[in-house]
């Protein structure tokens, strides 16, 4: 559903053709989904805004709700589409910390948590000895 026709192999294209033959609305849904993909891939906020405006008229309630929720945070959504910034690195570190905390639940205090979370490096004082 989310791939362009030229990205589908023969078996996938046959399956898609069979599904759309039995459910004609599926091709409409696919068009809506691919328009959304095009707006994101092109990094063009104007295309995305047009998609958000058209989505409630699509006749697909989940798509309409999704577009309505995007409207609520339109400034953030626009910034996410137009900029290269990502908080993926931060989210990855938070995920790592939470995983370590879950593994250690009930076993030890903050000292062991700190030892497992901080990178393995020795801090030397001005004299060159380990504090």
List of residues 6+ apart from 97 with CB closer than 8 A: 117
Q: Rounded CA gap, 69 and 71, in Å?
A: 5
Flag whether the pTM goes above 0.75: no
For residue 46, give both structure tokens.
């104007």
Do 32 and 60 touch, CB atoms closer than 8 A?
A: yes
Q: What is the rounded end-to-end Cα distance, in angstroms, of the chain?
A: 59
For residue 87, pLDDT beyond 80: no
R_g over Cα of the chain: 24
Residues 15-43 pLDDT 10s: 888 888 888 888 888 888 899 998 888 88
């Amino acid at each position: 559903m989310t791939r362009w026709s030229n990205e589908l192999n023969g078996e996938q294209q046959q399956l898609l053709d069979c599904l759309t033959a039995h459910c004609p609305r599926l091709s409409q849904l696919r068009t809506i989904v691919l328009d959304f993909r095009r707006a994101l891939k092109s990094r063009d906020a104007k295309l995305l805004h047009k998609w958000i405006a058209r989505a409630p008229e699509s006749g697909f309630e989940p798509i309409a709700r999704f577009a309505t929720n995007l409207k609520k945070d339109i400034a953030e959504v626009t910034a996410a589409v137009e900029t290269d910034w990502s908080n993926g690195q931060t989210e990855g570190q938070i995920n790592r910390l939470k995983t370590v905390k879950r593994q250690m639940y009930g076993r030890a205090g903050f000292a062991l948590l700190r030892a497992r979370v901080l990178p393995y490096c020795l801090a030397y004082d001005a004299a060159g000895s380990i504090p």
